[in-house]
Structure 1
Amino acid sequence: MNHTDLDSFRRQLREACGQAGVLTEERARAVLSATLLAEPAITAGTAVDLRTETRDALLAITLRLPQPVPQHERNLLPLLPDPGDGDTLTWHLATGAIPAAVPGPDEQATREEMLALVAHTDALAQQQRRLKHELAETNSGVLAMFTELERRDEELRRAHGVIFRELEDALRPPPPAVPGLELGVHYSPADPDSPTGGDLYDWFTLPSGEVHITLVDAVGHGVTSTRQAITVTHAIRTLALEGHPFADLVARTSNALTPIDPTLMATVLLVRITPATGRVRLANGSHPPPVLITTTGHTRLLATRSPGRGVGFPRPGTPDLVHHTLDAGDTLLLYTDGLVESRKNYDEGESRLLTLARTHAHRPTIGIPRELTGQMHDVVLHIDDTVVMAIRRTP
């Protein structure tokens, strides 16, 4: 079937894998590999031909491109196709005994595939550590183990590179278009070469017209904290769309997830904004308080009288909400602790943030998070992931 649309291309591939019972991790590698090859041609307006066929317990995926793909480029794909240098690539995937469920919406399928890739990357990291330990324990077979270690390192780096774009698209969504509000966001990773971290956010419009914003900072680093942060943001979105009371979301999320993963701990900040009136409600679970910037340039923290506790903490929940009304031109800053702890002094960082935020009272909203992060990170003694979000009520 010829495709000129990337969504229909991925949909056909996912449906074929689902009907054939292909494991989610293999499906994820196949979808990513085919997408990386087909996207340039489809973006340029050229159709690509995708055909699938199940035979002898194998799903054959055949992709025909406008230009040949050399073998050295094929070797860089997450899932290696059959050898060759032509314009046709073929993958053969093992099928399951029982057909798997066909993936749902594209966002859900992307999330499933990304979680499978993150889990695979985590397993590769564990294998890498085990190989290093074995290398230190023995003097025999050093050369063979070193070669294997290098191969694992390269596979790990490739896996990180492949999921980077999927993480950006699926887990760090762009600001939604909301009449009456201007939104901006910036993410700064602790390690520029590693796209994963525990600082994630989510924002969407509820059926009531309110805008819901979730900001999560999972304790820890690397792909494990990323997986836990994904779990928290997804659980909160589900509970919010089911209509559970805003004040109960953090406690309900913690009670639901802690029995599944007792090691999970995350600070959470939830915001509800009514664009038409500027009404704001804040639920804070062990997270740094937001900063309010008024049109006159005054700044202050919107802190609760009784601090709540985050997901996985003892007695989780948000017993005390913050209520505020944004005037036209007022700006609300949400952030993770990496913004104020770069100099290893939280109180100093908070004071500097309040001072620097005043200079952004009338600057374009979309550029505030990046500019403010650069100013706060002029001296970095403690490196941590950082997310900054800016919400301004427009006249």
Structure 2
Amino acid sequence: MPRKRFTGQGDELLARLGSLTAEARERAVAQRTQVELAIALQRGMLPRDLPGVPGLRLAVRYAPANLGLNVGGDWYDAFALPDGRIGLSIGDVQGHNIEAAAFMGQVRAGLRALAFVTGEPGELLARTNDLLLSLGSELFATSTFMRLDPVTGELESARAGHIPAVWATADGRSGVVDDRGGPPLGVAMGVEYPVTRHRLAAGGVLVLLTDGVVEGPALHIEAGLDQVVRLAGLAALAGLQVHALAAAVIKGAASVGHDDDAAVLVVGRDGAGAGP
């Protein structure tokens, strides 16, 4: 009799374990489906092509976070403005889920649409900020928007809580773009974003990136930016293609110590010259 009771208990235990295994498998499949949907959403909302602009070279690299449910909302964009200048944007939505990926699409589309109303970077970020707040989402985003004249190299930049860009010149000098910036998009109504003016020298490069490239448990943001500054300086001095620099920068994301989205947008200006 004791032996029969033990067998009955064992069968019940095995059945319970089988049920738990099946439930875990279903959850894993559902999670994987969510991740795949978010990645497809990300890829579908990012630009398929970059504009071809005489005198400029553009390159991007994008590595989505896709381990577990850690899917974020980094984006990049580059497009021609009505006055012949080029709009450049990069950003990062708070959160790592399918909602963040969807919100990313709203932010990028809003920036691009409003850029045809006003291409002035500070006003553009302010309008986008108010638009996002009117949507009632609890998410927010950091972003940088730049307006570049491909003929003169004149560059106007505004930041909304985003990490600064990196510049380098043909003689190998390089550094972090010095601008004040403002708060992230979607946090407070009526915010003003200061505009900083620079010049992208002939033969120089500009690197826009998200924090997944330069910051994490294993890498402090200052060290990560220093790494990109060195890479940009060497690339500009050696006259490397912008695609090679973008690939080198995104490769550095492996050293940050966590799985996060990572986006890089590199702009190079043809010719030779000096000055940031």
The C-alpha deviation readout for 1:257-303, integer Å capped at 9, x for no partner, is 22323412111100111112211111111111111110001002212
In 1, distance between residues paired with 2:67 and 2:41?
A: 16
Q: Cα offset for 1:158?
A: 4.3
Does the alignment pair 1:332 with 2:214? no
Contact 1:302 1:322 in 2 (8 A): no
Calculate the TM-score normalised by the size of structure 1. Answer: 0.58
Aligned to 2:163: 288
Flag the 1:378–1:262 CA change in 2: closer, same or farther, 3 A. Answer: closer
Identity of counterpart residues, as a percentage?
A: 28
Structure 2 partner of 1:321: 195
1:209-228 alignment, distance < 5 Å: 209-228=84-103
Q: Per-residue deviation at 1:246?
A: 3.2
Q: Give 2:175's aligned amino acid.
A: R
Paired with 1:146 and 1:337, the residues of 2 have a C-alpha distance of 38
Partner of 2:25: 150
- 1:189 touches 1:195 (CA, 8 Å); kept in 2? no
For structure 2, the residue ranges without an aligned partner over 5 or more in a row are 1-14, 272-276
* CA–CA distance in structure 2, aligned partners of residues 170 and 346 of structure 1: 28
Q: What is the CA deviation profile of residues 51-95 of structure 1, one whole-angstrom value per residue up to 9, with x for unaligned ones? A: xxxxxxxxxxxxxxxxxxxxxxxxxxxxxxxxxxxxxxxxxxxxx
Are 2:72 and 1:197 equivalent residues in the alignment? Answer: yes
Give the letter for the 1:290 counterpart: A
How far the C-alpha of 1:317 sits from its partner, in A, is 4.1
After superposition, residues 1-395 of structure 1 pair within 5 angstroms as: 143=18, 146-147=21-22, 149-158=24-33, 160-161=35-36, 164=39, 167-191=42-66, 196-243=71-118, 245-304=120-179, 306-314=180-188, 317-342=191-216, 343-361=218-236, 362-374=239-251, 376-377=252-253, 379-395=255-271
TM-score, structure 2 as length reference? 0.81
Question: Could you list the per-position Cα deviations for residues 340-363 of structure 1 after superposition, in whole angstroms to 9, with x for gaps in the alignment?
Answer: 214341222222322232211121
Conserved? CA contact 1:309–1:315, under 8 Å: no
Q: Cα gap change, 1:253/1:174 in structure 2, threshold over 3 Å: closer, same or farther?
A: same
8 A contact 2:154–2:200 mirrored in 1: yes
Q: Deviations over 1:310-358 (max 9, x none)?
A: 2023466453211112222110000011122143412222223222322
**Long gaps (5+) in structure 1:** 1-139
Give the superposition deviation at 1:211.
0.9
- 1:34 is matched with which residue? none
Q: Distance in 2 between matches of 1:369 and 1:320?
A: 28
Cα distance change of structure 1 residues 366 and 265 upon mapping to structure 2, 3 Å threshold: same
Greater relative CO (CA pairs within 8 A, separation 6+): 2
* CA 315–242 in structure 1, closer or farther in 2 if over 3 Å, else same: closer
Deviation at 1:189, TM superposition (A): 2.6
Q: 1:173 Cα deviation (Å)? A: 2.9
1:365 deviates by: 0.8
Rounded Cα–Cα distance in structure 1 between residues aligned with 2:254 and 2:36: 28
The alignment of Structure 1 onto Structure 2 pairs a total of residues equal to 254
CA RMSD of aligned residues (A): 2.7
Measured against aligned partners, the alpha-carbon deviations of 1:354-395 in whole angstroms (never above 9, x if no partner) come to 223221112111221111222x34633243221111001123
